[in-house]
Structure 1
Amino acid sequence: MDTPMRSGRDRLRYTISFELILMAFLVPVGAIYFDKGVHEIGALGLVLSLKAMALNLVYNWVFDRVDARAGRISSDRSVIGRLLHATGFELTLLVTSLPIYMWWLQLGLIEAIATDLTVTTFVVFYTYAFTLGYDRLFPVRVVA
């Protein structure tokens, strides 16, 4: 028996809603913290968001495939599975976002790492909560 997985359309809904809600939180805070206009931080957020969405689609597909091969349904992930999922994704984002922060905000390496780690820490908790809520609203259905 094949373990059911999320459809491409479902993954797209997840990704877009995840990013829109995240941007609604982070853009105003970033504009205040860096004393920049909302449009400038919003543009940075858009660049980071588009990058994250592309990574999100690939990362979640791979993670779901690993779950399916182990006979697990992705929306029934354990707490440990969810923590591994969220942390792994954020580490991938951290590595790919550092150069963007440095260039866009004219930050040194240490400042960029601090900024990235602050955002990443928030996003790890957000990812856990968002994905748990999403799985409750849109569970993967087993078709008999």
Structure 2
Amino acid sequence: MSATTHAVGLQGPKRRVVFVTLYEIIAIIVSSLLFMAIGQGAGASGVMAVVASALAIAWNVTFNALFERWEARQRVKGRSVLRRVVHAVGFEGGLALVLIPLMAWWFGVSLWQATVMEAGLLLFFLVYTYAFNWAFDRVYGLPASAQAMPAAAPAGAVVGAP
């Protein structure tokens, strides 16, 4: 494979580790503050934020691997607004299915109350997930699955020559 057919920017497992680490550090801080803002104690809020983060990391790795596998098979490359919205909704929706019953149990509230709590978090995290992904891609480049790869140079051709 010639140098012109390699993806540019941060790629592979290193990309995922940097992504998840940055995303979850911010998420733990904001989640703790949001739980405290709705009347939960600081300790319970912090523990729930860390547990939710651990679950989100596992889901993030799984969901993004599946999403990028799907994305690599698409004819249209790049990340349109629609593709980013689908990504954010899919990620947050899957996570909510696990977090609602967990929050109900942890905070000792009904499933309905936990759903309302999660809805508030979800509104924040839908916007946060979209914005974080956009900013991350701007700083580190698109993943290989979203990059249009130039055709390989013919044998014997000098890369970059006119």
Is TM-score (shorter-chain normalized) higher than 0.5? yes
Larger radius of gyration: 2
1:40 shift after superposition = 2.0
2:14: which partner in 1?
9
TM-score normalised over the length of structure 2 = 0.79
Aligned residues with identical type, % of pairs: 28
Which letter maps to 1:125? V
Corresponding residue of 2:53: 49
TM superposition shift of 1:3: 8.8
Q: Could you tell me which of 86, 98, 101 is aligned with 1:99?
A: 101
Equivalent residue runs for 1:48-67 within 5 Å? 48-67=52-71
Matches within 5 A, 1:1-144: 4=7, 6-37=11-42, 39-71=43-75, 73=77, 76-140=78-142
1:39-89 Cα deviation digits (max 9, x unpaired): 32111100000000000001001001111011455xx31000000000011
What secondary structure sits across from 2:41 in the alignment? coil
Higher relative contact order (CA 8 A, sep 6+): 2
Output the aligned Cα RMSD.
2.3
Provide the rounded CA distance (Å) in 2 between the counterparts of 1:26 and 1:126. 12
Q: 1:77/1:40 Cα in 2 relative to 1: closer, same or farther (>3 Å)?
A: same
Contact 1:3 1:72 in 2 (8 A): no
TM-fit CA distance, 1:25: 1.8
More helix by share: 1
Cα distance in 2 for residues equivalent to 1:6 and 1:135: 11
CA distance in 1, matches of 2:44, 2:104: 14
Which residue identity does 1:126 align to in structure 2?
Y
Question: Which ranges in structure 2 are unaligned for 5 or more consecutive residues?
Answer: 153-162
Shift of 1:6: 3.5
| Number of residue-to-residue matches in the alignment | 141
> Which consecutive residues of structure 1, in runs of 5 or more, have no partner in the other structure?
none
- Structure 1, residues 88-144: CA drift from partner, whole Å, max 9, x if none? 111101111111101100010110110111111110000000000000000036586
Secondary structure of 1:29's counterpart equals helix
Q: Aligned partners of 1:15, 1:94: CA distance in 2, in Å?
A: 18
